[in-house]
Structure 1
């Protein structure tokens, strides 16, 4: 015979599943924000400022210019990428010919291009006004002919990034409100099944704090379990995505993923405790006739 459900039994499994799904969605939004921020950082750090050198500058002069560039505080410091790259006029000509499929050197009889340095700038300086100051500062170096970069690109990227963050933040906030309301209603239904047990405890003289304690503890445990399950799902999803999507590994920041999972755990406990406490308080104040 199938096991009969006891009257007034508490739907623990349903609450944990609901909390897990809700916390997973919140965590997924957080994961998107983290990876979007990393992607933007990579894009910003790959924007280059090109420093063209005077034609009469010799090797010693080029080394002097390089030393002065390296000393600048706005030059990217990274162990993963080369912040400063020297491009000879011959290499520049090859790149131009490969891109345009036209041998301008043969047509002109000479190579009019200049030796140059390609410099990557720190993310903190990725603003049009700051890039203009960098341009002026670099052009003061003796032997530098011209400094160029894609003007207005920084402001355009920053504007688009701000829009993306606003959309993601709005979506996450809406999801959080909806999820909290749904979880709150789920726990209300669960507490509703315990309303007569709560009344019986009141009738034998139990205080509100004594009645609330086991329910609130149960809510905290449910929230913690839901948070753990949601965190595990997030990690599994992230690992599957990294293994199957080429180039996604470079967007991963595992220290921030750990912080995100910790936030999901804390949020799960807070939602479980607050929703349980709020729903329970209602039945503690309810008159006997209203229980029916």
Structure 2
């Protein structure tokens, strides 16, 4: 005995698979954006400005200079602790020898390097104009001989970061457009088996709202299921990535990832609703010849 068709009942396996995969790709793009933003912040906050000091400063002058620098608004503070490190000229000499494999003390007879404070800056000051103002401010302090930072590196990093964000944004928009078109076609094909039932309901006087309601409910449910499935896949991907590369754990931002997953679920429901509504309205507007064509 043939099963009686119910309005809104149509094959949904392909729809669930397509929408889940599409939402997962969008979520992956969002995850990359979150991780790259955190990575950019990490790079910026670990960038150091070096303030070379006058020679033969007393311990009291070093402490006074440290406190003066620590009060500056551009100094990064972690747990209220200023990120300022004193590097003596002896330590600097060892670092230089380790990097260059050359011992200058053998032919100079003395250490020409200076003590220095290595200062980490807040992310807001990671721009050429602001770094110049930081350099000028520090060099005006009593006891500071010279301030040095890599000028070209800052500009290059900022330019590359902007390019990456633009490319990711364009890719996400294109992907979203492809998803909407794909879902419209997929749902329209799925509803093809319901076209005669829709027409029969119209002939007995059912309103468009009454006919549409079950389809919309099913479309939203499919979007919800697909959103949840894409979130699960994204969570599994994160755990696999961290297990293989533990360093990624420090880049995780649970609050933003939770917001991303919530957005994926909402987007899935929205896409399911809009795509189903467009597909159903198309069949509601077909003539008898087009319905049977």
Alignment TM-score, normalising by the size of structure 2: 0.94
Matches within 5 A, 1:180-191: 180-191=180-191
What's the CA shift string for 1:84-139, capped at 9, x where partnerless? Answer: 11101111111111111222123212111111110011111110011000000111
Aligned to 1:164: 164
What's the CA shift string for 1:162-206, capped at 9, x where partnerless? Answer: 111111112222111112111111011112211111111112211
TM superposition shift of 1:83: 1.5
Alpha-carbon distance in 2 for matches of 1:258, 1:113: 50
Alpha-carbon distance in 2 for matches of 1:58, 1:81: 23
TM superposition shift of 1:241: 0.5
Change (3 A) 1:243 1:82: farther
The RMSD of aligned alpha carbons is 1.9
- How many residue pairs match? The answer is 290
* Mapped contact 2:75–2:82 kept (Cα < 8 A): no
Alpha-carbon distance in 1 for matches of 2:80, 2:95: 24
Aligned to 1:63: 63
Alpha-carbon distance in 1 for matches of 2:81, 2:189: 56
Matches within 5 A, 1:191-202: 191-202=191-202
Aligned to 2:36: 36
Moved over 3 A (4+): 3-9, 79-82
Alignment TM-score, normalising by the size of structure 1: 0.94
SS in 2 for 1:247: helix
Alpha-carbon distance in 2 for matches of 1:101, 1:158: 32
Matches within 5 A, 1:38-53: 38-53=38-53
SS in 2 for 1:193: helix
Aligned to 2:13: 13
Long gaps (5+) in structure 2: none
